[in-house]
Structure 1
Amino acid sequence: MELVFRARRAITAAGDGPCSVGVDRGRITAVEPGRALSGDRVVELGEDVVLMPGLVDTHVHVNDPGRAEWEGFETATRAAAAGGVTTIVDMPLNSLPPTVDPDALDVKRKTAAGRVHVDVGFWGGAIPGNGGRLAALHEAGVFGFKCFLLHSGVDEFPPLDDAELEADLRILAGLGAPMIVHAEDAPTIEAAPRPHGPHYAGFLASRPPEAENRAIARVIELARRTGARAHILHLSSSDALPMIAAARAEGVALTVETCPHYLSFTAEEIRDGATQFKCCPPIREAGNRERLWQGLADGVIDCVVSDHSPCTPELKRFDSGDFGEAWGGIAGLQVGLPAVWSGAARRGHTLADVVRWMATRPAELAGMTRKGRIAVGYDADFCAFAPDEEFVVDVSKLRHRNPVSAYDGSPLRGVVRQTWLRGQEVTGDDPRGELLNRG
């Protein structure tokens, strides 16, 4: 074999144990228990690390082109690799133009070409008036389509009303493509108190859980009616878990994600003016966080992805600390794995659980057949993770573009030592990532 990885611990379909993994031409060709395989080149992993499949993060806002001062393909993919993420799927909004037709996808691909350190796929966007272009965009290789049910935060990516959502779901049902939905109900939020000032409690009241619950109920009904696949993005309201479980039990094609920040932080600990914690939907109370963890344990929540949504520091309005004026989004792509592992370990979960939530299931939901597992035929995408090493996040050392993150100063458990993409170590110096097409 060209290359063999030998590990005292590896997370494979056989479980967590000693393993040798053979690699030829960037693909896994052998997975054997123990450490007996040999090859032209051998990577012997240290006794304190676990060989894991590279993570798959299907919710990343790269914002490039058009708002590359917020983030960019080079910086986002360096941060991904530093966090053990070997595949990302870029969201269709916050870049200019948004990815709502094949021409815009072509612009984005040309912008990313030769600049990515991990593999990158793309979501398309579903906005009013582009239903006739969804099939062409799907044919051009996007992994599915994102929509909003309320203002997205940027005027060039408007929301769908119920009739438009149903019409687009019928189109996607015929294509076999998922609709991924930012599920918050606009009328509920319009009726809530307007956020202003530095008090987090005021911002939290402006995005009540009822807004998520009503929007999710509507998505469930339309998915039931159309037979389309629907995916709920960044679930923060644990109140929605029973209806999600019931819908899936009756056969509705529904999947759900949550994010590391909803599993890590609580509303009670967010201090006044700390707008680095602002995101939509919001971080909620401690009891809600524990119910989200239980939803993961029960399998109602499928996966955990970052919703990495950075911006420039001035957009966070640290000058005033005004939650009503600050941009909503959390930059956490690089620290998602240790953040989730820190919480998972405290609650008795295993690294195999984390791999399922952050690698295997996201890859499956996006339809990626060679990502998210250490198995024969899969890409040799790995990370070496030291699960017992502890550190404190220093935002100045994170590799995304702007030094803003809710995780700054957080003590976390677990350090990514190395990352490999198709058997080659990712150092951040030589961009070898590929641009992925659906299928």
Structure 2
Amino acid sequence: MTPPPTAAPAPPAPADSVPARDPGAGRRSHPATGGALVLVGMLLVALNLRAAVTSLGALLDEVRDGLGLSGTTAGLVTTLPTIAFAGLGALTPWLVRRVAPARILVVAMLALVAGQVLRVATDSTWVFLLTSALALAGIAVANILLPMLVKQHFPHRTGLVTGAYTMTLTAGTTVAAASAVPIAHAFGSWRAGLGIWAAMAAVAVLPWVPLALRTRTAARRATPTVAAAPAARIRPERTRLGWAMALYFGAQSLSGYAIMGWLAQLFRDAGYQPESAGLLLAGVTALGVPIALLMPTVAGRLATLRPLVLGLTTASTLAYLGLALAPHGAALLWVILLAIGQGAFPMILTTIGLRARTAEGTVALSAFAQSTGYVIAALGPLLVGILYELTGGWTAPIGFLLVALAVQTAAGMAIARPRYVEDE
């Protein structure tokens, strides 16, 4: 794809140097000088960005029974990801102006490991919530950093690398959703089905340790020079593009997290066994793997995103109506349509890079769109849980998701034409 215009390149810096006031806190990498390690690190991080969420969705019934959760509390549990992503995501630009991204990612992945281990070692509802929040804090920071790292290290391969990491993210989501219940049954406890993913998060720490040490060494060796002039701060919250991006991201995340948190329960209520319900949930994400790989390239080649926006809306609408009217009889068809509709997620991640000219613009737009979007998205699992408990069925929750889809579509039409946050 043709990359978006970027700022004029700076003069070559010494290897492993850290430019002053660079939001990336590090140089752009070439595969021969560290880019390959950055790419591997990004893919391993992406593999962990949803496993802690979808494994809980697949085992929500067992966790509710094990901890004695009410329907409303279970809704709060499924809302935690969006709350954490909104709060911590907003702080990420502040962090990257002070700390190298590699060092931030080491801490983020360690928080994910610790949170996943600690939450399965307690019988307290509140401790479970707090340790889940710790794990999700690590994910929240990584969510914001990955689009920036793509822009910084792979500016001429934005679509390819974005497709690779969103595909890996989707694959991790799929594996966790499909295997959480079988693992729990094999070990005789839901705790095993949730806790095992801490090992995968621990592996994701490894590539970032040498990268973090490298940036620290470079900073110590740096010779004091005249400070670079601070770049103008980019404030997406003051632009129409920033708000349209946030609304689209929020509406699609609202439906995405509602699906991850409650779809397995919907299929259980429709008569499927727990293992089958988990596999149907996994089917949504599994079918999303090729979509995640192709969507960034397709989005980058289109003059306008309107055909994609409308096509994704149509698929989601048909899926929701099918789930409301015939959840058992045509479950596979609804899963396929849901997977297509959830292609809105890789599309908006790609659009973050396409609507910014620079790495600083990308991290600012990523942080605003995701943190504000997740505030909106927090309503999804919680309100679905409340509506489900109040009505005892799925008609009202699905009606709510259709309203959110209408908002998503309107925002999508607003971000469809090419423009850049730096220009607004």
Q: Report the TM-score when normalising by structure 1.
A: 0.24
Q: Which has the higher helix share?
A: 2
Larger relative contact order (Cα-Cα within 8 Å, sequence gap ≥ 6): 2
Structure with the higher strand share, 1 or 2: 1
